């Protein structure tokens, strides 16, 4: 049973436009969400996170939106740059001291110059 | 501050052998987690260690084990290797400060190939 789902395996956008990556979850115990970026042959790099007490968190070009009622979160990248091309993973955790992250299967973003 | 380091970066083994992977967390980080990444299953949680104790465990067979030392460094062991164990093994560390949400920082991974 996949608790965190990224239904789009790939996404292609033009440089300068907005990239929107989506993630859905099923476990209502999740209360902390993270986005990671991964290049080939490297470990995931932390991008941005959001706790369930918020509905938006912004860091530079990256904004994460959380809709708890829909169990849905999204990552917006504005403006998109060719260097953003990577695989993006959504992850979730249920607190209580747990460091266990449940990951989606990732979305490969390609930003075309 | 140095990041999470993992050794070795690449490893080739044959079925039935065992393997030990090593992870050094970011200085000051007390929690170390291990993940397996495969093309079909994505990133899956193996286990987490904190203060030399396994605190969380994923759904992997007993052939997968680990430990953490007093300096927070961690090792992961896989015994009786199977072809399906071929994967990228990632280690992540976090501060695990009580009351705070903790981002995990990943190492570059160890690519294990089982022949």
Digit-coded pLDDT (tens) for A3-33: 999 999 999 999 999 999 999 999 998 989 9
Question: Cα–Cα distance between B51 and A80 in angstroms, integer?
Answer: 41
Q: How many CA atoms lie within 13 A of A10 on its CB side?
A: 3
Report yes or no: B58 at the A interface, CB cutoff 8 Å: yes
Least confident interval from A19-28, A94-103, B35-44, B61-70: A94-103
Average pLDDT score over residue span B61-88 = 96
Q: Is B37 left (phi over 0), alpha (psi -120 to 50) or beta?
A: beta
pLDDT of residue A98 exceeding 60, the answer is no
Contact assignment for A45 to B106 by CB distance below 8 Å:
yes
Query: Which of A32, A97, A100 is nearest residue B45 as measured by Cβ atoms?
Result: A100
Interface of chain A toward chain B, CB-CB under 8 angstroms: 32, 34, 36, 41-46, 49, 51, 89, 91, 95, 97-106
Query: What pLDDT is stored for residue B36 in this prediction?
Result: 96
The beta-carbon neighbor of A101 closest among B104, B107, B111 is B104
Q: B99 pLDDT exceeds 60?
A: no
Q: Tell me the average pLDDT of chain B.
A: 91
């Amino acid at each position: 049973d996949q608790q965190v789902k990224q239904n789009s395996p790939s996404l292609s956008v033009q440089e300068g436009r907005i990239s929107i990556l989506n993630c859905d979850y099923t476990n209502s115990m999740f209360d902390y969400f993270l986005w990671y970026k991964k290049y080939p042959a490297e470990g995931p790099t932390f991008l941005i996170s959001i706790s369930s007490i918020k509905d938006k968190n912004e860091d530079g070009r990256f904004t994460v939106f959380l809709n708890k009622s829909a169990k849905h979160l999204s990552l917006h990248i504005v403006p998109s740059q060719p260097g953003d091309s990577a695989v993006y993973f959504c992850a979730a955790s249920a607190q209580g001291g747990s460091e266990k992250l449940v990951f989606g299967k990732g979305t490969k973003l390609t930003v075309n110059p | 501050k140095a990041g999470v380091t993992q050794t070795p970066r690449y490893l080739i083994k044959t079925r039935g052998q065992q393997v030990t992977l090593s992870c050094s967390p970011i200085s000051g980080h007390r929690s170390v987690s291990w993940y397996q990444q495969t093309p079909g299953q994505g990133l899956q949680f193996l286990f987490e260690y904190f203060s030399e104790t396994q605190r969380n465990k994923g759904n992997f067979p007993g052939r997968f084990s680990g430990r953490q030392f007093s300096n927070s460094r961690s090792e992961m062991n896989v015994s009786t290797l199977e072809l399906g164990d071929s994967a990228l093994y990632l280690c992540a560390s976090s501060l695990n400060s009580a009351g705070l949400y903790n981002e995990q920082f990943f190492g570059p991974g160890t690519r294990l190939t089982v022949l």
